[in-house]
Amino acid sequence: MTESDSWRPTAALEVLRLRAAMLSRARAFFAQRDVLEVETPVLSIAGTTDPNIQSLTTRVSGFPGTLYLHTSPEFPMKRLLAAGSGDIYQFARVFRDGETGRRHNPEFTLLEYYRLGMDHHALMDDVAELVGCLLGDEHGAIACRRMSYRDAFMQAVELDPMTADRALLLETLSRHGVPLPVDPLSAAQLTDLIMATLVSPGLGREQPCFVYDFPVDQAALARIRAGHPPVAERFELFFQGMELANGFHELCDQREQRRRFAQDNALRVQEGLPQVTADERMLQALDSGLPDCAGVAVGFDRMVMLAAGARQLSEVLAFAILRA
């Protein structure tokens, strides 16, 4: 590739046509179900506190302080739900700093949607239909598997992630020849490394596979179900070893949500990351009453990758970051 070619798209035009067709199919899918398409702001005075997601920031003349570019449209969409919008969806271009790779681009398209009265299992059924509509056969169907987070680990590495201590996690990584970083990792980070290197590459080889009921320290914005052990009512969808979606039976408890934001910011301090202003307006919305619902973020670009048989995200983006 010569420098004089750098004006050209990173995606083939036929892939862009496929992408456009998939966008209209998804919109028809939601129209059929009476789910309302919405748009929420890219800029916000609050950002995500998640220590593993870094926001880009900017300023706008006449407004005090820093504005965050959204990493997901989740918070304003929950404000719409609390305001009585009913089922909603959005195609959102979101931004995450430091995420560039074969399957990552710092800006990408999330298809985020919420269904009232559903829990994470009912939403998995619904997502399976959406995947069928986007990647399925001529009838728009695709058979999906479903497996708990614990079983996914047991099958791949014979390890119970709910009870394993640091020593066992380290032993599992070394037994499978995964080298460790120089910096010491917490038990949660070791679990993430096992998931990323040893478990997820084998998930959904033949057919899409939902992984559900996550450890509580990975609850993010999901509710926690009491039990032995307690689990977070969260799911992820994998197909051909690639993560495609992340969903929650949404946490509605304002106090618990506030506690998690504070805990995230405490972790950020430990990791030497800047603290992030928690979204007070979203917390107020929870306080005024978020209807019982489940929500999911679907990586739309990755769906297109699978439909197009692309090896890298750049092949489905008109202009990936290096040509932006």
Partner 1 sequence: MASYQTNEFRSGLKILLDGDPYTIVENEFVKPGKGQAFNRVRVRNLKNGRVVDKTFKSGESVEAADVVEMDMQYLYSDGEFWHFMDPSSYEQYAAEAAAVGDSLKWLKEEDVCMVTLWNNSPLLVTAPNFVELTITETDPGLRGDTAQGGVKPAKLETGAVVRVPLFLEQGEVIKVDTRNGEYVSRVKD
**Residues binding partner 1 (CB under 8 A):** 50, 52-53, 98-104, 177-183, 185, 188-189, 191-193, 195-197, 200, 218, 220, 236, 243, 246
Comparison of 44 and 54: residue with beta carbon closer to partner 1: 54
Comparison of 35 and 73: residue with beta carbon closer to partner 1: 73
Beta strands, E only, the chain: 36-37, 43-44, 57-58, 67-69, 88-95, 107-116, 145-148, 209-214, 224-225, 231-239, 242-249, 293-299
Task: Count the neighbouring beta carbons within 10 Å of the beta carbon of residue 125.
Answer: 12
Q: How many helices (H) and strands (E) does the chain have?
A: 9, 12
Q: To the nearest whole angstrom, how small is the minimum distance from the Cβ of residue 302 to partner 1?
A: 12
Q: CA of 65: how far to CAs of 59, 92, 177, in Å?
A: 7, 24, 47
Comparison of 35 and 120: residue with beta carbon closer to partner 1: 120
Alpha helices in 116-208 (DSSP H): 120-135, 149-157, 166-175, 187-194
Q: To the nearest whole angstrom, how small is the minimum distance from the Cβ of residue 72 to partner 1?
A: 10
Comparison of 318 and 321: residue with beta carbon closer to partner 1: 321
Q: To the nearest whole angstrom, how small is the minimum distance from the Cβ of residue 79 to partner 1?
A: 21
Q: To the nearest whole angstrom, how small is the minimum distance from the Cβ of residue 271 to partner 1?
A: 8
Q: To the nearest whole angstrom, how small is the minimum distance from the Cβ of residue 42 to partner 1?
A: 20
Comparison of 84 and 179: residue with beta carbon closer to partner 1: 179
Comparison of 20 and 196: residue with beta carbon closer to partner 1: 196
What three-state secondary structure class fits 70? coil
Comparison of 178 and 318: residue with beta carbon closer to partner 1: 178
Q: How many residues are there in the chain? A: 324
The rounded distance, in Å, linking the Cα atoms of 151 and 153 is 5
Comparison of 35 and 169: residue with beta carbon closer to partner 1: 169
Residue that the structure tokens 């919405």 belong to: 38
Q: To the nearest whole angstrom, how small is the minimum distance from the Cβ of residue 28 to partner 1?
A: 28
Q: To the nearest whole angstrom, how small is the minimum distance from the Cβ of residue 201 to partner 1?
A: 9
The rounded distance, in Å, linking the Cα atoms of 45 and 217 is 26
Comparing CA positions, the residue from 48, 53, 50, 46 lying closest to residue 264 is 50
The rounded distance, in Å, linking the Cα atoms of 173 and 298 is 29
Report which residue type is found at 317.
L
Q: To the nearest whole angstrom, how small is the minimum distance from the Cβ of residue 125 to partner 1?
A: 20
Comparison of 46 and 173: residue with beta carbon closer to partner 1: 173
> How many whole angstroms from its chain centre is CA 270?
24
Q: What angle do CA 208, 138, 90 make, to 5 degrees?
A: 60
Q: To the nearest whole angstrom, how small is the minimum distance from the Cβ of residue 148 to partner 1?
A: 15
Q: Are the C-beta atoms of 82 and 288 separated by less than 8 Å?
A: yes
